[in-house]
Chain A
Amino acid sequence: MSAGSISYNPDGTLNRSKTKNTLGPHSKIATQAAFYAKVKYGAKISVGSMSGHAANNALQIAMETCDADVLHLYNDPSFAGADTIGTAEVLKKGVEKMEGQMERKMDIVFSGHRATDGETGQTGPQIAWKLGLTFLGNVISYDVDLEKRTVTAKRLLNLRGVPEIIQEIEAPLPVFIAIDPSYKYHFNTVSLRLSAEKYKKEAHEKSQNYQKYIQTFNREGLGAEKTLIGLVGSPTIVYNVQRVPKGKAIRNAKVLDGSNPEHIQQTVTAIKEALSAMVIK
């Protein structure tokens, strides 16, 4: 069974081995955000991916994008059929594994805005919750104060009926950042640009034999509990997939004549009304 590019097993779980394996666009933006920390603050980067594929193309793209130091692949038959919380458990264990290897806690954990195969956007917050990290969602830019050990971030908020709001916040490290799709890093000095170019070159070379950098962990290797992962650990069952029905046009169009001054007056009034409705009082 399949809808769009998403495949399902007969039991209604996602068939991830048939769903096309690549780095999702949102995850790619998360790796770009991590690359920013590498260039600007000399961060070490570990990338983790739960996947049914042994040869993991997603991790290659991740390597090319962020010049990672470590690539983790979490692969075990028992991970299959996981919903968001089952996935979050595996990835939490993955982060803890990375921390064990580095012998220190993570400062920032990045996730994408949402997955493109599951489309729910819950995995990030759930990992943050499981790790006990401060969760910052919809982040469009961030910077770290290394001395104060804080992060300042801009968040893009979309509230119904209100134009886009950018909220600026400061939080103590460590944090979990779910990166907004509109994130784009910007290096504003020659030295940062030069080191970005150097890391990009290194990333490209490393991505050519990315397999060398992959460490694969199964359930046992991660020390994940059977009851919290995979199908067993997943309360969600997909029993039906439907297209979002097309909404009926609710536009109230009116044909106006540009050469008629009265019509122009009407248009101006209408625009004024629309604008005044948009002002937050």
Chain B
Amino acid sequence: MEKYDVAIIGGGSSGLAALKQLSNLGKQAIVLEAGDKIGSKNISGGILYSKKPKKGKVTNVEDLYNNFLEDAPYERKITRYILHSTSKDKIYSMDLTAAHDYQSNFGCTVLMNKLNFWFAKQATEASHKFGGGIIPGVHVKSITWNDEGRAIIQTDELDAFEVKAIIAADGVNSEIAEMVGARSKFNPTQLYQGVKVIIKLPEKIINERFEISSGEGAAHLFAGDVTLNHIGGGFLYTNHDTLSIGAVYHFDSLLKNPIEPYTLIDALLNNPMVSELIKDTVPITKEPDKSLPQEEQLKTRFDIAKLIKDWNDVRGYYFTSECEDPDGVKARLDSLEEQMTEKFGITFGIKHVESEYGAKLIPDGKRCRMEKPFFKNILFVGDAAGRGIFIGPRIEGLNVGIDDGVLAANAVARALDKNDFSESYLGEYYSQLVDESPYTVDMKQIDKDYLKIFLDAAKDVPSDIIGSRYGPIMKMMSSNTFRGIAIKFANILGYDKLLPMIETEDTYVKVPIQLAERLGKIVSTSYFPKTTLIGDRISKLSYNDDHISHIKLLDTANEFMKKIPLLCPAKCYAEENGKIILQYEGCLDCGTCSQKTEWRHPRGEKGVHYNYG
């Protein structure tokens, strides 16, 4: 049996960080990634932060990848961070840029497919020196231990092999955690469900509409009627030449009031402010003359497709900051448009262009982070350990995962040096590192300085809108004298008791609606997006279907499974004659249904592949 020092299961940003760090420390590690290409299985909302906490230290992305700021394919650095309260055509906006900048070096928008691919390239180069590397297309099936305590990894694709330590970076639906019994599945009270669309928009149009320059970015958050009465909200982030638009809602709120996740995206797209921001000019083609011979019709279709491709390329280039000869390019664009109209009767209309739809579950670190993120010689990192930060408008995950990856790598390197992989030497030590991490502290305690910035931003909000429910608390929090006492009291109560008071419909729905209605400005739009059908969204994704299903239905006669046709973001489930049926092809591997099914990640290279992520 082949033997290796360390196996990292999952090639997301956290697993890759572990590989990079272990290689930096001169240790041999291999990453096992289920996707056929690194990054193809990864999706995120889209902001990666670099933080500078007041107390303690974190490893940021640019600490681990020294050339990150110069070379990495991140999208834009966020310079504007705004929270919008919506009610129909009225919007009340609060500038939270100061809250976003709080203890931050920067926050940049990212698309995980290309970013993780870049991370992988850096990590691979380092790892090859020590006999490690990345193996894509491999799905881990089981882990057992031999007499010496070494872990034996079985996969669907490779012969079994032996390792001294494992870093489990297999995401929110960690199969490793479940199969070894390190933790139970996260339950709906501990999870958010996120759905996202990528919308294409030329670079300079983004700059103009969002009032930013080419390197800068805007992040917009939404609460109010766009939530369709759910706890959570919408987001819109500017990428280089796309927009990431998504809806993130607490899973138990969706369970209470089930709704097809994509309608939450549609609600956002139909908000007049968002509609205005996403619209673009698109060519509208006519069907070729049916009376013509078929070959002729086919030729026309090809010619049209080619012209449109050229038009898209030239237009895309015209609207980039790299375009050196705008007049010359514009002349080419005009001539292309003339050809399109004259030869083929193509007209130009207003639409939004969706490029990719995706979904994922997100762990709410306040409620589900693993207290002891280890089991025997396995360390859990990032989403697998349940470590997402959701504190009001503060939403972080990627940076936490990267930091975890580095901490786990440090702990494993120390164990390799002493050849001791016992729980007391490896696991407990890692657990202590994680516990001391400023991110963990933030998940446990309220930071009064952060709260002050947030309250300052909300200072124009009339106190009666805040409602009787948390009026007194807000009053105390808003007073410089009492805030300290109030926060001390709140921290004694703990997040457990506080959360049900803060994360409510009042906060995410009612108060924002009132705010918008009373203080909001009317935003009008001339563009009313047509709903994209879920079937069309799914059909644009690329899949490599397995002939066997990665999801097995168990008992479907329960309340959860009855709701699943509404909760599945890919509409893989339907009810037929009172029975729940599943079509696993088209699954987004999000894990929403994993609560009450036998759920596995698809085998190596199988399932969905994202192009943006």
Contacts and interface: CB of A to CB of B under 8 A. Distances in A.
Interface in A178-208: 187-191, 193-194, 197-198, 201
Interface in B104-134: 124, 128, 131-134
Contacts, number: 32
A190 B124 contact: no
B158 A198 contact: no
Contact of B133 (A187, A188, A189, A198): A198
Contacts of A194: 30, 131-133, 135
A193 B157 CA distance: 11
Contacts of A188: 157-159
B64 to A, nearest CB: 21
A188 B159 CA distance: 6
A225 B597 CA distance: 70
Contacts of B161: 189-190
Contacts of B158: 187-190, 193
A190 B30 contact: yes
B135 A197 contact: yes
Contacts of A187: 158
Interface string B129-144: 0011111101000000
A190 B134 contact: no
B4 interface: yes
B133 A197 contact: yes
A195 to B, nearest CB: 9
B128 A190 contact: no
Nearest to B134: A197
Interface in A230-269: none
Contacts of B159: 188-190
Which of A187, A189, A193, A198 has the most chain B CB atoms inside 10 A of its CB? A193
B460 interface: no
Given A198-B128, A201-B124, A190 B135 contact: yes
A197 B127 CA distance: 12
Interface in B62-121: none
Contacts of A193: 135, 138, 158
A194 B134 CA distance: 7
A193 B161 CA distance: 13
B510 to A, nearest CB: 54
A99 B4 CA distance: 39
B161 to A, nearest CB: 5
A87 to B, nearest CB: 31
Chain A interface size range:
10 to 19
A201 B161 CA distance: 24
Interface residues of B, number: 16
A189 to B, nearest CB: 5
B37 to A, nearest CB: 11
Contacts of A191: 2
B394 to A, nearest CB: 38
A246 B39 CA distance: 45
Contacts of A198: 128, 133
Interface in B445-478: none
B2 A189 contact: yes
Contacts of A197: 124, 133-136
Which of A191, A194, A201 has the most chain B CB atoms inside 10 A of its CB? A194
A190 B2 contact: yes
Interface in B139-165: 157-159, 161
Interface in B151-199: 157-159, 161
A88 B18 CA distance: 52
Interface in B569-610: none
A197 B132 CA distance: 11
Nearest to A201: B124
Interface in A126-141: none
A24 B136 CA distance: 26
Which of A189, A190, A191, A201 has the most chain B CB atoms inside 10 A of its CB? A190
Nearest to B128: A198
A189 B136 CA distance: 13
A194 B2 CA distance: 12
Nearest to B135: A193
Contacts of B133: 194, 197-198
Contacts of B124: 197, 201
A198 B133 CA distance: 8
A5 to B, nearest CB: 13
A215 to B, nearest CB: 29
A188 B158 CA distance: 4
A197 B128 CA distance: 10
A137 to B, nearest CB: 28
A107 B128 CA distance: 30
A201 B123 CA distance: 13
Nearest to A186: B157
B27 to A, nearest CB: 15
Contacts of B157: 188
A189 B159 CA distance: 5
A239 to B, nearest CB: 24
Interface in A148-204: 187-191, 193-194, 197-198, 201
A188 B134 CA distance: 15
Nearest to B153: A190
A95 to B, nearest CB: 34
Contacts of A189: 2, 158-159, 161
A187 B135 CA distance: 11
A246 to B, nearest CB: 14
A243 to B, nearest CB: 12
A198 B136 CA distance: 12
Contacts of B134: 197
A191 B159 CA distance: 10
A4 B2 CA distance: 51
A39 to B, nearest CB: 13
A190 B30 CA distance: 9
A201 B133 CA distance: 11
Interface in A7-50: none
A189 B30 CA distance: 12
A193 B137 CA distance: 10
A201 B131 CA distance: 15
Contacts of A190: 2, 4, 30, 135, 158-159, 161
A188 to B, nearest CB: 5
Nearest to A191: B2
B293 to A, nearest CB: 15
A262 to B, nearest CB: 25
Given A189-B159, A197-B133, 11 more contacts: A189-B2, A189-B158, A189-B161, A190-B2, A190-B4, A190-B30, A191-B2, A193-B138, A194-B131, A194-B135, A201-B124
20 contacts: A187-B158, A188-B158, A189-B158, A189-B159, A189-B161, A190-B30, A190-B135, A190-B158, A191-B2, A193-B135, A193-B138, A194-B131, A194-B132, A194-B133, A194-B135, A197-B124, A197-B134, A197-B135, A198-B133, A201-B124
Closest 4 CB pairs of A and B: A193-B135, A194-B133, A189-B159, A190-B161
Interface of B: 2, 4, 30, 124, 128, 131-136, 138, 157-159, 161
